[in-house]
Structure 1
């Protein structure tokens, strides 16, 4: 079954510092083995100026759950996950998703 790993970055304490570190974070994520597709997004600000429910997301697509699990168990993940924790000053959630057909 196709699988997606989603990184949901909550609002950082210093958005400028996050943005400065984000390109390296994304480059490390793209090095995970077995990725078939990468999508990134930045959450639009709310019109009333209140905090958004999240700041950025990264979606990494894999052929199946086993490929995704192997990707987060290898040496590349050993470089990625400390970086994720370092830049995610507002918090981060990481989800494994089973993709359903629409």
Structure 2
């Protein structure tokens, strides 16, 4: 079954610094072996304009769990994940999920 790895960035301490580093992370993510597609998004603020807990999301899609698991053990991942952790000054969560077609 198809699997995705989602990176959930919380609100950064310095939005400008985060945004400056973000394009390089997306470019590095596109190099992950077995990646079928990538989707990036910026979270809307609440209706009153205040921030939500999440700031940006990156969804990386793979054919299956084994492919996703193998991708995170590669040199490309070894270059990507330290960049993610360094720029995620507000916090970050990384999850693997089964994609349920429906």
Task: Give me the TM-score of the superposition, normalised by structure 2.
Answer: 0.96
Corresponding position: 1:57 with 2:57: yes
Distance 1:80 1:101 in 2: 28
Unpaired runs of 5+ residues, structure 1, are none
Q: How many residues align?
A: 102
Q: How far 1:52 moved relative to its partner?
A: 1.0
Normalised to the residue count of structure 1, the TM-score between the two structures is 0.96
Question: What is the alpha-carbon root mean square deviation over aligned residues?
Answer: 0.8
Aligned partners of 2:46, 2:56: CA distance in 1, in Å? 14
Distance in 2 of aligned mates of 1:22 and 1:47? 25
What are the superposed Cα offsets for residues 14-44 of structure 1, whole Å, 9 maximum, x if unpaired?
0011001100011111111001111000001
Q: Secondary structure at the match of 1:101?
A: coil
Q: How far does residue 68 in structure 1 lie from its aligned partner after superposition? A: 0.2
| CA displacement at 1:48 relative to structure 2 | 1.4
Q: Identify unmatched segments of 5+ residues in structure 2.
A: none
**CA apart distance, 1:101:** 1.3
CA deviation map 1:46-85 (0-9, x unaligned): 2313221200000000000000000000110100011001
Any runs of at least 4 consecutive aligned residues in structure 1 with deviations exceeding 2 A, and if so which?
Answer: none
